[in-house]
C-alpha cells in the first residue's frame, strides 16, 4: 500500500504506511549521481553528500546535526549511486517532525563551509583508499569501467583523488544549485505515521517554493561492443576477484523479470548452479554469485567470484560452460519454481522494514517513473515461463560482448579473452 502525491512546490511525495512498526523513515532521493558528472567533476555528487552533514543555517556545525539525531536514537545516513543520491533518517514515530526538520534543513540550507570542506577532502580520499585496498569492494568499479568504458556510467562514484583535491567551493555550490531542484527530488515517508495529515505535515518542511528549475538529462549509453573486453587490475593478492558479465536491459524492460529469475538460478543462492559447480563440486571459490545491475537506459548481467588464483582459468571456463548450458538448454521447471519462491520470500522479508520499504518504492518512482506494489511485481514474476527464461539467456549470453573485470596477480588479457573466442 502506497500513495503518490505532490507538495506545494512540485516535489514528489511518496508515502507507504506500515502500522506493524513503531518506527518511521524519512527518505529524500535526488536524481543526481556520478553519471551526471563531466569527467573533470567526477566525484562531486558524492562530495556534496558528505558536505550536507557539515552545517546549515539553523544547525551551523555537523555536531549540531548529529547531537539532535543521536539524542533520539535515530538511524541516519546518506549514500551516492551512479544515478541518484539519498538521505534518510529512521526514528521512533513520535520524532517524525524532528526527522523532517533536520533532513529538509540539510537539503535546503547547507552552508558548504570552506574549513569543513578542506577537512572532508581528506576523509573522502581515505574512503577511496579503503575501497582500493579492498578487492571485494573495488571489483564492481573495475567491471563497470570495462562494460561502460568511455561513458559516464563507467566512472567511479567517488571520483579520482585528484578531482577531490581540486574541486573548488564555488564549483560545488554551482553543481548543487543546478541539480538539487524540486523536480528532481522525491520525499518518501515509510512506516508508522498519521496518514490523514502526512501531506500537510511534510509541506511544512519541504513545501516552500525554492530550488525550482528544469530537469537535467543524462547522456544515454549506446552499446558499440563487438568483441570481448577485459580490465585487469594488477594486485599481488592471495585470492583473485572476478566480475564477468554482459550488457542487459534497462530497468523498465519487461525482460527484467525472466532475467532476474535466471540470475537466481545461476548464482542467486547456495543451491544455485554456479555455487554448486564452482564451490561445492570443485572447490574453486569461497563465494560465487550472479546478479543484475539496472539503469534507466541500460543494464548488465554479471557473475562475481572470489577465486583460487592458481585455478582461475578453470573457473572462468566453468562459468562459460554454465552460461552456455542456460542458453542452449534453458532451465528446469523445478529450478524456475524454486527461484520464484526465493524472490517472493526475500521480497516479503525486505518490505517488513520501514526503511527498506520506502527505499524500494522510492527508487522505482525516481528511476522508472512509476511505482508497482509487491503484489504486482510478484504477479509478473509468477507469469514468467521456461521459454521466457531460455529466450532471455539466448539474447544476453553473446560471448562477443563479454566483459571481464579482475583484481589479482595477472597482466595478460588474452588468456582470459581467448576462453570466450
Give the residue numbers annotated as catalytic, written as ranges.
49
Q: Identify the residue whose cell numbers are 518512482.
A: 365
- Which candidate, 3, 22, 64, 417, places its Cα nearest to that of 225? 417
> How many Å apart are CA 234 and CA 232, to the nearest integer?
6
- Which candidate, 104, 124, 307, 282, places its Cα nearest to that of 210? 104
> How many Å apart are CA 292 and CA 260, to the nearest integer?
7
Q: How buried is residue 116: exposed, middle or buried, by Cβ count under 10 Å (0-12/13-18/19+)?
A: middle
Q: Enumerate the H helices of 133-246 as residue ranges.
A: 135-147, 161-166, 169-179, 198-206
> How many Å apart are CA 202 and CA 337, to the nearest integer?
43
Strand segments (E) across 379-419 = 403-408
> How many Å apart are CA 108 and CA 390, to the nearest integer?
49
> How many Å apart are CA 145 and CA 33, to the nearest integer?
16
Sign of dihedral through CA atoms 202, 366, 168, 49? positive
> How many Å apart are CA 312 and CA 410, to the nearest integer?
10
> How many Å apart are CA 141 and CA 243, to the nearest integer?
10
Angle among Cα 343, 291, 269 to the nearest 5 degrees reads 55
Amino acid at each position: 500500500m502506497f500513495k503518490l502525491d505532490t507538495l506545494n512546490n512540485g516535489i514528489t511525495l511518496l508515502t507507504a504506511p506500515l502500522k506493524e512498526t513503531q518506527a518511521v523513515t524519512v527518505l529524500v532521493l535526488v536524481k543526481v549521481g556520478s553519471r551526471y558528472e563531466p569527467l573533470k567533476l567526477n566525484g562531486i555528487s558524492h562530495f556534496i553528500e558528505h558536505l550536507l552533514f557539515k552545517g546549515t543555517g539553523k544547525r551551523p556545525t555537523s555536531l549540531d546535526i548529529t547531537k539532535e539525531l543521536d539524542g533520539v536514537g535515530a538511524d541516519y545516513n546518506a549514500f551516492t549511486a551512479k544515478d541518484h543520491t539519498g538521505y534518510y533518517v529512521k526514528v521512533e514515530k513520535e520524532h517524525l517532525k524532528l526527522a523532517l526538520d533536520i533532513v529538509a534543513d540539510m537539503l535546503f540550507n547547507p552552508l558548504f563551509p570552506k574549513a569543513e570542506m578542506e577537512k572532508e577532502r581528506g576523509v573522502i580520499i581515505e574512503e577511496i583508499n579503503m575501497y582500493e585496498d579492498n578487492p571485494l569492494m573495488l571489483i564492481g568499479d573495475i567491471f563497470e569501467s570495462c562494460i561502460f568504458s568511455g561513458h559516464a556510467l563507467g566512472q567511479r562514484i567517488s571520483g579520482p583523488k585528484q578531482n577531490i583535491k581540486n574541486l573548488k567551493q564555488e564549483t560545488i555550490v554551482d553543481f548543487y544549485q543546478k541539480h538539487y531542484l524540486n523536480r528532481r527530488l522525491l520525499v518518501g515517508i515509510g512506516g508508522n505515521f498519521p496518514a490523514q495529515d502526512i501531506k500537510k505535515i511534510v509541506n511544512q518542511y519541504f513545501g516552500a517554493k525554492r530550488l525550482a528549475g528544469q530537469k537535467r538529462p543524462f547522456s544515454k549509453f549506446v552499446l558499440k561492443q563487438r568483441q570481448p573486453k577485459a580490465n585487469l587490475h594488477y594486485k599481488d593478492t592471495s585470492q583473485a576477484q572476478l566480475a564477468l558479465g554482459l550488457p542487459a536491459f534497462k530497468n523498465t524492460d519487461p525482460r527484467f523479470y525472466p532475467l532476474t529469475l535466471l540470475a537466481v538460478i545461476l548464482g542467486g543462492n547456495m543451491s544455485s548452479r554456479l555455487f554448486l559447480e564452482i564451490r561445492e563440486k570443485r572447490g574453486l571459490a569461497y563465494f560465487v554469485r550472479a546478479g543484475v545491475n539496472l539503469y534507466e537506459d541500460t543494464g548488465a548481467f554479471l557473475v562475481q567470484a572470489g577465486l583460487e588464483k592458481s585455478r582461475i582459468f578453470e573457473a572462468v571456463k566453468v562459468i562459460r560452460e554454465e552460461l552456455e548450458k542456460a542458453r542452449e538448454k534453458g532451465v528446469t521447471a523445478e529450478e524456475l519454481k524454486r527461484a520464484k519462491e526465493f524472490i517472493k520470500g526475500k521480497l516479503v522479508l525486505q518490505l517488513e522494514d520501514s526503511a527498506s520499504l520506502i527505499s524500494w518504492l522510492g527508487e522505482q518512482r525516481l528511476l522508472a517513473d512509476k511505482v508497482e506494489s509487491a503484489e504486482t511485481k510478484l504477479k509478473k514474476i509468477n507469469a514468467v515461463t521456461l521459454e521466457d527464461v531460455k529466450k532471455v539467456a539466448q539474447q544476453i549470453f553473446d560471448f562477443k560482448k563479454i566483459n571481464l573485470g579482475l583484481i589479482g596477480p595477472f597482466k595478460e588479457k588474452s588468456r582470459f579473452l581467448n576462453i570466450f573466442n
